[in-house]
Each structure stands twice: as structure tokens, then as C-alpha cells.
Amino acid sequence: MLKENLQEVEEKIQSACQRAGRDRSEVTLVAVSKTKPAATLQEAYELGVRVFGENKVQEIREKYEVLPKDIEWHMIGHLQTNKVKYIVDKVRLIHSVDSLRLAEVIEKEAEKHNRGVDILLEVNVAEEESKFGLKTDEVLPLAERITEFSHVRLRGLMTIAPFVENPEKNRAIFANLHKLYVDIKEKNIDNGTVSILSMGMTNDYEVAIEEGATMVRIGTGIFGARDYSI
Ligand SMILES: *Cc1c(COP(=O)(O)O)cnc(C)c1O
């Protein structure tokens, strides 16, 4: 089942790249393994998956201990400042930075470990009340502040689009975030390191790729439905 799912996702990523005239190598697949047991991640690892996305600090800590060390862990969920210290030395990328305060805490913790930490700014493009993330017009000012930091490295932008039956409804959101991403790249406020646009989930990743995503975060499409009751 996992193998077939991964194959199907891979084929859809390839077709979306083709439709958009993009090379497959421009898009990184993040396998979103939240709520899934370590054994399931191990199975995916054996099928070649190396990039896993988790949304809880505790889950990253537990899985990090028992799974192979060449896994790239991505923190994709809301991050509380008091928990940064537990993962700053374990994650390859934090997708969900949405305030100066959080960026400052990551900077401080990264300095303690004497390592650089790659981050994305999370943008609530649709301005949904229920969601975390910066408003579009808050992104550039924060991006500029972050360039003053020496350990936190701004690598790009991320958004969680609304859940919609028809993914076409999210196309404008993805296009808007892509525009903002290009703006930031062109401003060169980042010394040329902004190269990640994380958008698209199971329901809408093909549209996201057509609109320029360089990273898609897929959970259900790979691992099946999540069971939150256990
Ligand atoms: C859960 C989650 C995903 C994956 O969602 P699916 O619809 O299962 O693919 C992607 N991004 C974030 C931030 C998530 O929390």
C-alpha cells in the first residue's frame, strides 16, 4: 500500500512538472508522517524516503531517537518558543516561522549549538482566522529583520491553503505566494539563498507545483488517513 501510494504520488508530481515545463528535480517531496508510528516511517525509509515532515516537537524527538540518522526532519507545525530548544539541533528545516519573536528564539538556540538553522516564513495567504501565519504585507519587513541574524537563514516561504474540494480554488493563493517569493528573491535581502517555496498538500499539490512550488508536503496521499483517536 505504501509502495503503491508513493508511486502514485511520484507519477503525479512528474506529470505536474511536465505540464508546467519544470524539471522534476525542482520539487522536493516531504512525506508528512505526523501521528504515524516509527515502524511506518521505517517502511517508507526502506522505500527510499529521506525527508519527513512532523508537526509536533514531541513526535520529532521520539522518532529522531529511533530512526536512521540520515533522515531529514522538517518541522511543519506551529512552534512554541519554549520548545525550540528541543528540536533546533535535530531539524533540517523549520517551515512555520510566523513571528520575529520566534525567529529570535531560534537564533538564540542555534547560537548555543553553534549551527545555522534554515527557516521558512509561514504566510496565511487566505487570511483564515483559524490559521497561523503572517499576513502577506508582514512578510517583507520580517524577512528584512531576519537577514540581520547570523544563525537563522531565511530560505523561503510556506503556506497552508484552505481545505477545498476542488483544488483549482487554491490556484490563486499559490500564485500569490509565488509572486511574493519572487519579490523576496529579487530584493536580494537574503544574499541569494531564498530557494524554497513550500506549498501543496495531498488535496492540491499538483496545482501548487503548476504554480511554482519547490516543496510539497504530502501526508494522507502517502500514509493514508490519520487516526487522531489513539
Ligand atoms: C498535516 C499537514 C500536511 C499534510 O496534509 P495531507 O492533507 O495529509 O497531505 C501538510 N502540511 C502541514 C503543515 C500539515 O500540518
User: What is the position in ligand 1's atom list of the atom closest to the CA of 223?
Assistant: 8
**Residues in contact with ligand 1 (CB, 6 Å cut-off):** 32, 34, 55, 76-77, 160, 201-203, 217-221
Specify the 3-state DSSP secondary structure of 210. Answer: helix
Dist. CA 22–CA 199, nearest whole Å? 16
- Does residue 37 carry a pLDDT above 90? yes
Mean pLDDT, the chain, integer? 95
Contact 50, 29 (CB under 8 A): no
User: Could you tell which of 30, 32, 74 is best to mutate to test the pocket of ligand 1, judged by most ligand atoms within 8 Å of the CB?
Assistant: 32
* Cα–Cα nearest to 199, from 191, 186, 207, 208: 208
Q: 219: CA distance to ligand 1 center in Å? A: 6
Q: 150: CA distance to ligand 1 center in Å? A: 30
User: What is the position in ligand 1's atom list of the atom closest to the CA of 95?
Assistant: 13
In a 13 Å sphere around the CA of 34, the CA atoms on its Cβ side amount to: 17
In a 13 Å sphere around the CA of 27, the CA atoms on its Cβ side amount to: 31
* CB-neighbour burial class of residue 176 (10 A; exposed 0-12, middle 13-18, buried 19+): middle
Q: 112: CA distance to ligand 1 center in Å? A: 31
Dist. CA 59–CA 121, nearest whole Å? 22
Can you tell me the mean pLDDT for 107-132?
95
- Does residue 191 carry a pLDDT above 70? no
For residue 230, the model assigns a pLDDT of 61
For residue 192, the model assigns a pLDDT of 54
SS3 of 55-95: CCHHHHHHHHHHCCCCCEEEECCCCCHHHHHHHCCCEEEEE
Q: 128: CA distance to ligand 1 center in Å? A: 16
* CB-neighbour burial class of residue 211 (10 A; exposed 0-12, middle 13-18, buried 19+): buried
Contacts of 190 (CB under 8 A, 6+ apart): 143, 147, 154, 184
- Does residue 19 carry a pLDDT above 80? yes
For residue 186, the model assigns a pLDDT of 86
Q: What is the pLDDT of residues 193-214, one digit of tens each?
A: 899 999 999 999 999 999 999 9
Output the residue whose Cα is nearest ligand 1's atom 5. 219
Residue whose entry in the numeric block shows the C-alpha cell 516509527:
38
For residue 190, the model assigns a pLDDT of 57
Dist. CA 40–CA 33, nearest whole Å? 8
CATH of domain 2-223: 3.20.20.10
Q: 52: CA distance to ligand 1 center in Å? A: 11
